[in-house]
Amino acid sequence: MSSSSFLVALLCVSIGSLASAASAGEKDSVSIFQVTDGKLGGYPQWVSFKITNLGRDTLEVKNSFLSYGKWYKYPNKNNDGSAPGGITIAAGATSPNPPFAACGRQGSPSGTTGGFDIYTKGFKVATIHFDCPYTGSNKLSVSDECKNCVVQLPSFSTSGALGDLVLKVVALV
């Protein structure tokens, strides 16, 4: 047996043992995997977004993507949603309601990772990146922030779900 085959077999046995321990109620044995009905689940890794527009022009969410996980119709993770795009946030408003949201896939230990762009008047305000991994630390960041634009990220949990987040945006373009 090659070393890679051995590692795959060991991982499969370990996951099976963790799932059995969780099903038997041995919670201390299951520290990194969420097990629901005997299946691994990524649902505990989730994030939802609302955006508060503190500027004078309408904002729009565009170019949303996920590398891992799925979009869902908040608050029901079993109800798959489509990638948010075309969501508009009027000046002085907080939208959308309900928020747009992503989570890990049921049966997959991968969490959710992705991002989206915020635009105003055809100009890109910023790109928001999020990473809510199955294991490891959560990340939330802003890139490509335009001149005369500010995106304030909320505080967030570095482990477990990123949770319900409200971004504050001022775009003066």
For the domain spanning 46-171, the CATH number is 2.60.270.50
Q: Domains of the chain: which residue ranges?
A: 3-38, 46-171
Cα–Cα dist 159/163, whole Å: 10
Six token digits for residue 12: 């499969």
Cα–Cα dist 15/117, whole Å: 37
| pLDDT tens, position by position, 38-82 | 445 789 999 999 999 999 999 999 999 999 999 999 999 999 999
pTM here is 0.78
Six token digits for residue 30: 């299951």
Tally Cβ neighbours within 10 Å of residue 113. Answer: 20
| pLDDT tens, position by position, 150-170 | 999 999 999 999 999 999 999
Helix (H, G, I), strand (E, B) or coil at 108: coil
**CA neighbor of 47 nearest in space, from 167, 134, 152, 131:** 131
